[in-house]
Amino acid sequence: MAVAVEAPLDGVLRLTDYMGVHEATFLILTALVDQPRHGYGVLQEVETLSDGRVRLRASTLYDALDRLAGDGLIEISGEETVGRRLRRFYRLTGQGRASLAAEAERLRHNADLAATRLAASPPRRRLRPEGAARLAPSWAAGPQ
């Protein structure tokens, strides 16, 4: 998944990109909650957490890990070499755990707000009844 790490500078933040960035970072932090993981472990866990929707590239992962480590949200917990493979493990810091919890709370609050507003404001009908009937899929009419 091509995920920009920060929002683009085209005048106004593009919500889709911004959410994509946020989601990748959010999922990386979430992947490290239960145990330290190495790079490939993080990639796999992010893919699992997102039901296969978010597949990070190596460059995106290490950009994010560098930034998160720079901000003190994660740290290196150890290294191991298996055969020819160097694996560096990352773990969440106390600050990282607190930030993730705060972000999860903020997202939950926002999601509740959106759901409440959507429930209170049903979509406007744009089609006249006959037009809507003409465009309705055949299964919508029920058993014949």
Residues that bind another protein (CB under 8 A): 3-12, 14, 17, 21, 38-40, 43, 57-63, 67, 83-88
Q: Count Cβ atoms below 10 Å from residue 28 Cβ, excluding itself.
A: 28
**Minimal distance, residue 15 CB to another protein, in Å:** 10
Nearer to another protein, 5 or 49 (CB): 5
Please say which residue, 39 or 97, places its beta carbon nearer to another protein: 39
3-state secondary structure of 28: helix
Shortest distance (Å) from residue 32 CB to another protein: 15
Q: How far is the CB of 41 from another protein (least distance, A)?
A: 8
Cβ 25 to another protein, closest distance in Å?
A: 12
Nearer to another protein, 49 or 69 (CB): 69
Tell me whether residue 81 or residue 138 sits nearer to another protein (CB atom): 81
Q: Taking the alpha carbons of 112, 114, 115, 120 in that order, is the dihedral positive or negative?
A: positive
- The type of residue at 36 is P
As measured in angstroms, the least distance from the Cβ of 9 to another protein is 4
Cβ proximity to another protein, 43 vs 92, nearer residue: 43
Q: Which residues pair with 38 in a beta bridge?
A: 89
Q: Say which DSSP state 38 is in.
A: E
The CA distance from 65 to 39, in Å, is 9
Q: Are 1 and 17 in contact (CB under 8 A)?
A: no
| Token duo for residue 57 | 């590239």
